[in-house]
Chains A and B, each alone.
Chain A
């Protein structure tokens, strides 16, 4: 069965710091990869996704993620975080109906 590991449970950064959240998955077949974000009091929403093509994927709000197949990784990055990026971030791997989420990383950005 596929699984997803997120390396950090809670990350605290100051505004303008760079961000990288780790995500590794285990699955032998073709997968689609996602990062979802949950802002306080809001729906879970899609940040970015990868399913084919360029392994460097750009999403909303300046986020990007790089799919490295050899490392089974899909790390999320942002060069300069803002206070409004405070949220919980979930990495997910999907093969047809079998969507697996990581445990999530809570990001706190200090103003």
Chain B
């Protein structure tokens, strides 16, 4: 069966510091991968998605970036964190070419920028 992992689970970082959040998927090949941010009372906002290694689409311009160095690995990064980057970050995957485009979510990383 497929599983999705995210780490760290929680992170507290100072403003201006770099960020690296990791997501890995097991049990499937060539998944579509997604990064979301969940802010209180604002639902989930799609940040990036990827349909293959090295292929990244950005939905919202900001100081975050994403990379997909391996088929089942998706990384969210920042060179300099802002206070507004605080939030709950979710990684998700879906079956490529899936008929219903259902997405499966990881446990999330809670990021607090001080």
Contact = CB atoms under 8 A, between A and B. Distances in A.
B40 to A, nearest CB: 9
A43 B102 contact: no
A104 B34 CA distance: 19
Interface stretch (B16-24, B41-49, B69-77): B41-49
Interface of B: 32, 34, 36, 41-46, 49, 51, 57, 90, 99-108
Interface of A: 4, 6, 9, 32, 34, 36, 43-46, 49, 51, 90, 92, 94-104
17 contacts: A4-B43, A43-B107, A44-B90, A44-B105, A46-B104, A49-B100, A49-B102, A51-B99, A90-B44, A92-B44, A97-B57, A99-B46, A99-B101, A101-B43, A101-B44, A101-B45, A103-B43
Main secondary structure of the interface of A (DSSP, over half): strand
Contact of A9 (B41, B49, B51, B90): B41
Contacts of B102: 32, 34, 46, 49
Most buried by A among B45, B103, B104: B103
A94 B95 CA distance: 14
A98 B45 CA distance: 10
Nearest to A94: B101
B30 to A, nearest CB: 14
B45 to A, nearest CB: 8
Contact of B49 (A6, A36, A46, A97): A97
A90 B41 CA distance: 11
A99 B43 contact: no
A39 B32 CA distance: 25
Given A32-B100, A94-B103, 12 more contacts: A36-B105, A43-B107, A45-B105, A51-B99, A94-B101, A96-B101, A97-B34, A97-B57, A100-B46, A101-B43, A103-B42, A104-B41
